Chains A and B, each alone.
Chain A
């Protein structure tokens, strides 16, 4: 076979290689010229809590796309595109820490975690590297969590307003029974509910924790109903627990009001009981196709449109974390634009001096009393009620003013559970 003789000289080959390399590198050079700011979703995208992590990341992605379409984040007069960097921490300490390290390497300006164990894994790292982070668990706040914020949900503060609402709509109800799983989430929440019921003249006739390994909730509900309560509060029982508790309430003949933090599995509850049975149940997480949502959430741009975009991009994947992480990002964006910087210390100082608007309206920094640090942004929060198998916003309650009015009762109930900052040591 005759050998082909190349007409390419070595010089030409070098020039060609140089041109090719430049062409390949060009988009990166061009991209590098675009001002960009990164936010991090350090969430469990696999494992037990992917149920919250994946919708959270999806919500952050949709929020970023909408924000970029509207011009991005304005810092020092320049528009910056937002890029969401995701890392699967799997709710495992080592992985979460690895994610936090990679976020520092990528100059991520703001990190979102679910809270609880994942925050515990990175608290020290966050302090040393000034990793500004948001949590959904206000109980993560402590005097050493300097760069941690609870900018959206301040669970369990809305429960006091829930008890007040129950008194308003059910003036004849005198007795209530409570239950929750026996863990920190359950204890903090139940302590606040108790204070709420104390404040509004309810008698707590049964008050019990159940083990988190419980699979059959019939004995738990039998014990609740033996005390003949007129209302039953399921506290912050995890969604699958709450479903089985509600089913047992139905089967064992309870006919009063049901209260629960989220009623996340309401469609399944309706299926296992009935539309009529769930009517009037009180909870605290609105749906975003509620006609009132745009009016009720002035601190979030076009919540109804956001919901529609999420449903289009991730059909059926909507969850409370979808909007909560997006709302965390919205608070951060407003704060960055007000401070004209993403530098953590300067940004924190600016946020503290001028509290940003909360998703549901004006807000204040709070938390010193119960958590030893004022890093929770407290504003209004919706009370929602089940109507025809769906939840509707019935009013916005002022969590901070309720707390101020009934502070002593809350402290007393927190102290009973050894939850006060001085008792935690």
Chain B
């Protein structure tokens, strides 16, 4: 029973972190039609900024979280203004640029902080909540609640504000949105800042729980792409549902069988979904 509860908690936390990263990826694809391979590196930068602000500058964890969101959002804005805008009519060029940004960010972190993967971020919520024989680490509960709060705020932003309507309009039909007076350029900047900030927030939330290294973005981006494809490319709701399905499945296979098998099994579940639902869980089929 205890093992089941532990695994359910781990699955909930993995789902929360994966969803934060994946919805950013889905958002940027929906609005800008860009597959951002550097998204995992923005997650990595979020973790590094948190470490730097807490261990380097001696500020508290929440300053680190705010710093991570701010820095990654600014990197996102730079990517749109300096790189993607010039290549808007060239999707392959955009894709190559994201790989370039990925390498630059990795190398920058190696140059700035070294390869040392023993950087530690202290959690503001140490210890565990004891419920009978079950230990629930406070930071894991915090990650779950923080992710739910962020996703709730994002949902309100997208559905309850003019800014959100503009983003959704641009995602549905750029030309029509433009004819309605929506500045696609400005919306693209805001959307990528939002997307990058979500990745930064995820990196910051996970920093006290994982290894911080220049290459920590790679596993998460693979997972995020699996999730986005499974959920239906560009669908934020699909990304959230797929995050929960994939992460729960992955965590249970890891815990009950083996983590190497879990990676293969995760890919199989994605293929299974695509066989029966070629557009993903909530994706829309496009007529060609």
- Docked pose: A272 CA to B254 CA in angstroms: 24
**Considering only CB atoms, which chain B residue lies closest to A208 in the complex?**
B258
- Binary per-residue interface labels of chain B (1-41) against chain A in the complex, 1 for a CB within 8 Å, 0 otherwise: 01100110110011000000000000000000000000000
B89 contacts A by Cβ under 8 Å: no
A44-52, A94-102, A293-301, A336-344: which one contacts chain B? A44-52
Which of A237-245, A364-372, A382-390, A409-417 makes up part of the contact surface?
A237-245
Stretch in contact with the other chain, from A60-68, A135-143, A217-225: A217-225
Given A222-B3, A240-B117, A265-B118, are A215 and B135 neighbors across the interface (CB < 8 Å)? no
| Contacts A211-B263, A222-B3, A252-B135; A47 near B115 (Cβ below 8 A) | yes
Interface presence of A77 (CB below 8 A):
no
Residues of A contacting B177 in the complex (Cβ-Cβ under 8 angstroms): none
Contact with B along A228-268 (1 / 0, CB 8 A): 00000000000111011000000111000000000001001
Interface size bracket, B side: 35 or more
- The chain B residue sitting closest to A49, CB to CB, is B115
Query: Which of B79-87, B97-105, B148-156, B209-217 is near enough to bind chain A?
Result: B209-217
Measured CB to CB, the closest approach of chain A to B110, in angstroms, equals 8
Inter-chain CA distance A188–B118, complex, in Å, is 25
| Interface bits A196-219 vs B (CB < 8 Å: 1, else 0) | 000000000000111101111011
Nearest-neighbor residue (CB-CB) of A247 within chain B? B209
Partner of A211, one of B118, B213, B256, B260: B260
Q: Which 6 A-B pairs have the closest CB atoms?
A: A226-B3, A222-B6, A219-B255, A219-B254, A215-B210, A211-B259
Chain A residues positioned under 8 Å from B118 (CB to CB): 239-240, 243, 265, 268
Known: A243-B118, A272-B120. A216 touches B10 (CB 8 A): yes
- Any B CB within 8 A of the CB of A271: yes
> When the two chains form their complex, are residues B256 and A215 in contact, meaning their CB atoms are under 8 A apart?
no
Extra contacts besides A211-B262, A222-B255 (10): CB < 8 Å: A47-B115, A48-B115, A49-B115, A50-B114, A210-B258, A216-B10, A218-B13, A241-B211, A244-B209, A251-B135
Q: How far is the CA of A265 from the CA of B119 in the complex (A)?
A: 11
Contact with B259, one of A48, A220, A226, A265 (Cβ below 8 angstroms): A220
Would you call B10 and A218 a contact (CB within 8 A)? yes
Closest partner residue, chain B, to A251 (CB atom): B137
- Tell me which residues across on chain A come within 8 A of B115, comparing CB atoms: 47-51
B120 near A218: Cβ-Cβ < 8 Å: no
Task: Please state if A226 and B10 are interface contacts (CB–CB under 8 Å).
Answer: no
What is the CB-to-nearest-CB distance from A224 to chain B, in angstroms, rounded to a whole number?
Answer: 10
Chain A interface mostly: helix
Distance, CA A211 to CA B14, complexed state (A): 16
Q: Across the interface, which residues of A come within 8 angstroms of B216, CB to CB?
A: 215
| Bound form: Cα–Cα A240–B210 in Å | 9
Q: Does A395 contact B (CB under 8 A)?
A: no
State whether B2 touches A226 (Cβ < 8 A). yes
CA distance A261 to B251 in the complex (A): 27
Inter-chain CA distance A29–B16, complex, in Å, is 70
Interface flags for B126-145 (1: CB within 8 Å of A; 0: not) read: 00100000010100100000
Interface residues of A (CB under 8 A from B): 47-51, 182, 208-211, 213-216, 218-220, 222-223, 225-226, 239-241, 243-244, 251-253, 265, 268, 271-272
User: Are B259 and A252 within 8 A (Cβ)?
Assistant: no
Q: Max chain A CB contacts within 10 Å: which of B118, B213, B263?
A: B118
In the complex, B181 has a CB within 8 A of chain A: no
| Closest residue on chain B to residue A179 by CB atoms | B259
Q: Bits for B217-261, please: 1 = Cβ < 8 Å to A, else 0.
A: 011100000000000000000000000000000010011101110
Chain B residues contacting A225 (CB-CB under 8 Å) are 3, 6
Residue of chain A at shortest CB distance from B252: A219
Nearest chain B CB to A147 CB, angstrom units: 30
Q: Which residue in chain A gives the minimum CB-CB distance to B209?
A: A216
Interface centre among B115, B209, B259 (most CB of A within 10 A): B259
Interface status of B116 (Cβ within 8 A of chain A): yes
What CA separation (Å) do A271 and B122 show in the bound complex?
9
B140 touches A218 (CB 8 A): yes
Report the bound CA distance from A13 to B140 in whole Å.
81
Q: Which residue of A lies closest to B247 (CB)?
A: A216
Q: How far is the CA of A240 from the CA of B117 in the complex (A)?
A: 7
Q: Decide if A215 touches B259 in the complex (CB within 8 Å).
A: no
**Chain B residues whose C-beta falls within 8 Å of the C-beta of A244 in the assembled complex:** 209-211
Beyond A240-B118, A251-B137, whether A223 also contacts B263 by CB under 8 A is no
In whole angstroms, what is the CA distance A26 to B169 when docked?
80
State how many angstroms separate the Cβ of A30 from the closest Cβ of chain B.
40
- Greatest chain B CB density within 10 A among A182, A208, A216, A272 is at A216
Query: How near does chain B come to A348, taking the closest CB pair, in angstroms?
Result: 35
A216 to B140, CA, bound (A): 11
| In the complex, chain A residues whose CB is within 8 Å of the CB of B117 | 240
Residues on A with C-beta less than 8 A from B209 are: 216, 218, 244
Q: Please indicate the chain B residues that have their CB under 8 angstroms from the CB of A220 in the complex.
A: 254-255, 259
Question: Are B259 and A268 interface neighbours, CB within 8 A?
Answer: no
A47 to B, closest residue via Cβ: B115
Contact A222 B7 (CB under 8 A): yes
| Minimal beta-carbon separation of B87 from chain A (angstroms) | 31
Q: How far is the CB of A212 from chain B (nearest CB, A)?
A: 9
Give the chain A neighbours of B255 by CB distance below 8 A: 219-220, 222-223, 226
Known A251-B137, A253-B135; judge A219-B7 contact (CB<8 A). yes
Taking A239-B118, A240-B118 as contacts, is the C-beta distance between A219 and B260 under 8 angstroms? no
Partner of A252, one of B6, B251, B254, B263: B6
Inside 8 A of B14's CB, which chain A residues have their CB? 216
CB distance from A306 to the nearest CB of B (A): 24
**Nearest-Cβ distance from residue A255 to partner chain B, whole angstroms:** 12
Set of chain B residues within 8 Å of A252, measured between Cβ atoms: 6, 135
Provide the bound-state CA to CA distance between A241 and B140, in Å: 18
Docked Cα-Cα span, A222 to B9, in Å, equals: 11
Q: How far is the CA of A222 from the CA of B114 in the complex (A)?
A: 32
When distances are taken between beta carbons in the complex, the residues of chain B under 8 Å from A208 are: 258
Contact across chains for A209 and B260 when beta carbons are under 8 A apart = yes
* Chain A positions within 8 Å of B258 at CB level: 208-210
